[in-house]
Amino acid sequence: MATCESYEAVVVGGGPAGSAAAYTLAAAGKKVCLIDKAEFPRDKLCGGGLTFRSKRAFERIFKRPWKAELFNSSRDFLFSSNGRFVASYRSRANIYFTMRRSFDHYLLGLARDAGATLRLGDAVGKIDLERQALTLRSGQEIAFGFLIGTDGVNSVVAKTLFGKSFDPATVAFTLEAEVPRDRLPNQGDRVEFDFNVARWGYGWVFPKPDCVTIGIGGMHRLNPDLRHRLDAYFQHKGLDAKDFKVKGQYLPCGDCRRIPGRSNVLLCGDAAGAVDPISGEGIPYALLTGAAAGTAVATALSQPAGRGALAIYCEDYRDVVASFRRAKFWRWFVCPRVMQRVFAWAFRVERVRKWLLVEG
């Protein structure tokens, strides 16, 4: 076995949460290693929509304006319910769309430039919490003072802590495909949402820089026919889903952990279930929880006699996910089938649209 490496903190997962955590720790002068099973750039299933929350979080955490060429932006929205027009809306603020392949690679570069060590293309095989060490599939052993799990909904770190990474009864599932723009010549940069193409979910059309993402998602246990629903959604757009590479992924929508970790192990982003229960938006919460975990660990390392990192992290974490409680309540007025017509009627009111899309 290779000689054991040792770090003050190890981050598992190279998405936005992992990069934010590693960057924050490295910028604070801490010895940190970020591990991901994939080589970057890599493809990642994600709608790739970023609201003002993401832009504001990025600029605060990484202390720079974001790289404009990674994004396409739009203010034009079209809302429907099972293919029937509900409302159109022009937002005062831009919504941004990116390919995670490029965005995540860029964030990792910022973490590396700040001083974080990156170990990519080598998955975590085993985590020994008592010894505070993990073993990679390559056989390399890495010791840690703190472990930050940012490894998504199928988190190995969360599974090690709690026996399972998510609750199958509450998790959502999404399917999507990237469609070349020339296959939708009249789409332009219009953003579309359909509230009734999946049970407790929705469909979307997101204009990316070089393509259009069409997807559908909903509560997994309520949508055993999700692929059939996706096929119907594509047909409504004049397309055949079989012509494109369809990708699927679980989404911990509304399954946010009350305590995101244990002892010297912290969970962030999707690994903690930090995803908006209604919209499924996760990137701003990944950035914010990742940075909060990095700050908490850096503080604990600088003040070893003080409070533990988890207690420090939980204070910021609760602030980040506070809006989820309200969203879970309002989800019962948006998602059930019996409420769909009422919701579609209410959504025609401009004040309701602004509250849900801007203030919500």
> How much is the mean pLDDT over the chain?
89
**Which residues partner with 304 through β-bridges?**
none
On the question of pLDDT at 97 being above 80, the answer is yes
The enclosing domain of 129 has a CATH number of: 3.50.50.60
In a domain, 261, yes or no: yes
Q: What percent of the chain has pLDDT over 70?
A: 89
Same domain, 214 and 103: no
CA–CA separation, 25 vs 20, rounded Å?
9
DSSP, residue by residue, 157-223: HHHHHHSSSS-TTT-EEEEEEEEEGGGSTTTTT-EEEETTSSTTEEEEEEE-SSEEEEEEEEEGGG-
Same domain, 186 and 245: yes
Which of 85-94, 196-205, 217-226 is least confident? 85-94
Same domain, 354 and 278: no
Same domain, 289 and 246: no
Q: Which is more confidently placed, 304 or 237? A: 237
Domain total for the chain? 2
Residue 86: pLDDT band (50, 70, 90) is confident
CA–CA separation, 25 vs 225, rounded Å?
44
In a domain, 210, yes or no: yes
Same domain, 203 and 297: no
Residue 344: pLDDT band (50, 70, 90) is low
Same domain, 214 and 313: no
Same domain, 225 and 343: yes
Q: Tell me, what's the pLDDT at 337? A: 59
- pLDDT tens column, 110-136: 999 999 999 999 999 999 999 999 999
Q: Tell me, what's the pLDDT at 359? A: 39
Q: Tell me, what's the pLDDT at 347? A: 53
Same domain, 270 and 137: yes
In a domain, 283, yes or no: yes
CA–CA separation, 258 vs 12, rounded Å?
21
Residues 324-333 have a mean pLDDT of 66
Compute the half-sphere exposure of residue 216: CA atoms within 13 Å on the CB side of its CA.
23
Same domain, 225 and 181: yes
Same domain, 117 and 187: no
Global pTM? 0.91
Residues 217-236 have a mean pLDDT of 94
Q: What are phi and psi of 253, to 5 degrees?
A: -80, 110
Residues 203-210 have a mean pLDDT of 92
In which domain, by residue range, is 123 found?
5-65+99-168+254-326
Same domain, 128 and 273: yes
In a domain, 70, yes or no: no
Same domain, 44 and 131: yes
- pLDDT tens column, 171-194: 999 999 999 999 999 999 999 999
